[in-house]
Structure formats: C-alpha cells, structure tokens
Amino acid sequence: MRILLTGHKGQLGRALLARLEVDHIIRGIDLPEEDITDRDAMVTLVRAFEPELIINSAAMTHVDGCARDPELAYRVNGMGVQNLALSAAAIGAEMMQISTNEVFDGAAQAPYDEWAERQPINAYGRSKLAGEWYVQNLLTRFYVVRTAWLYAAEGKNFPHRILELAAERDRLQVVTDEVSNPTYVPDLVEALVKLIDTHAYGNYHLVNEGGASRFDFARALVGDSTTVEPITSAAFNRESTPPPYAPLANTAAAALNIRLRPWKEAVDAFIAEAGTRI
C-alpha cells in the first residue's frame, strides 16, 4: 500500500514510519518542509504521490498552547485536517485521523465508548473535534482513532518528565483528579497496523486497557524509590482545563479482536526499553 504519513517527526509518527516502511511504500511529511495548513501544497503533494491511505498524526498537541492561541489550534487541528480530507477525497484515498480523549468533557461515570456525545471543554479538544468533523463529513472511507496520554521511550512526554523530577527530588506531587488511559506508542502502532488491514472504517478507541490517574501513572513509573503525594488540579494554575475523567473504552476495535495490553504492563515495557527506573 502507498501511505502518506503526516507528522512523521513526532513520537507517534516516528514509530509509525519505522513500522509501516517494512511492508508498505510510505512517505513521511512534517514541518518545516511541509505544512498541512497549506491547502494548495497538500493537494499538489497528494496528487503527486497518489497514496492509497493518508495517516494524519500531525497536530498541535500542546494543550496550554492551544488555550493561549485557539485560532492557531483550529487552523492546524481543524483546517489542516480539512485540507488532508479534501485531498484524500479528490483521489479516492482512505484516511486515518488520530484524535484524542479530550473531545469528551470528562463528566462521565464510566469510560467513553466510540459513540458517546462529544463535548470538549478546552481549545485543544474543540480543535480536534473540528478535525474529526471534517473527516467524518468529507469522506466515506475513514478511521477516526481516539487515543490518550501517549508516551514512548523517545520524545518529550509525561513519563520522561516524572523520571527526570524523581532523579532530582525525593518527593513528588501529582494530581489524582485527572483520569484517562496511559498509552504506550509501540502498542498503539501495532493496533493501528491491524486496523488498517481490516478496511473496517469508522470510529475507534485505541488505548492501553484500564483507567489511571496521573498519580497512579507516576507511582507505576517510579516504583518505591520516590514518594509520590496525591494532590488535586486546584493546586495548579493552568491555561487549559483537561477533562477530569476521560478514559476510553475500546468497544469497536475489540469486536475486530484488536486490543492493547493493560496499561501497567505497558509501563513495565517502557521502563525496560528506556533503560531506567529511578
């Protein structure tokens, strides 16, 4: 298959590129050379490469940055996706859009399934919802894949920051009232590859199984070597407001026998790959 992958320099994009180039003809694009917000450039690029599938892992993911500049967030996460969807439609290509648990408001009492009502409460979530809307309304052959709290051995992410702080301090404070699914990038990549092979289009939630708070996540990362104290998000003055309870339920992909392992097992695999546990 010929695949165009956007955002190939990010932690998910790098892993996808390495995995997909084994079996497919794949081209990765990213800033500054290619910009998904440039519609003419995207149309020209897609027509020249003629992909059978476009995977969009490019996004403005800095949630506080999105709160500071919601117009930019919408331009990248909304209009940029529109450009890709229109380009895919023009040549009859499939599209996979990587989305987020933050399209939900976090007020649920149970994990969100794929057809739950989307009511984002921050600029990042609203911009990602716009991207979902364009894919779902401009295309018929698409996958919208929502995931959460991505981390990998490379790149900047929550586990790396926690491990850095644990190396410097004997005691950490981490919030207990933000809950979702820590998701290990290598596990997500394998699930995405399996999903692509099904051609079963639709909306999917792909996360490591089980919900966890940021506090739970940090405790699993540092083990018994560092004291982790529970606090609430009220102790932080943040520009963005994350959904407080937004774990995702993998219902649709599980029906295709696509599942990710429990999140604590994935954390152990991350520690082994990263080569350290403080």
Q: Which residues are catalytically annotated? A: 124
N-to-C CA span, the chain: 42
64-94 exposure pattern, b = at least 16 Cβ within 10 A, e = fewer: ebbbeeeeebbbbbbbbbbbbbbbbeeeebb
Q: Report which of 132, 145, 128 is spatially closest to residue 253, judged by C-alpha positions.
A: 145
Q: Please give the structure tokens belonging to residue 192.
A: 């995405």
The bridge status of strand 179-180 relative to strand 94-100 is unpaired
Nearest-10 crossing angle of helices 185-198, 11-20: 50
The residues facing 76 across adjacent strands are none
| Element holding 265 (H helix, E strand) | helix 263-274
Do 34 and 11 touch, CB atoms closer than 8 A?
A: no
CA separation for the pair 99, 134 (Å, rounded): 12
3-state SS class at 141: coil
Q: Strand 212-213 relative to strand 179-180: parallel, antiparallel, unpaired?
A: antiparallel
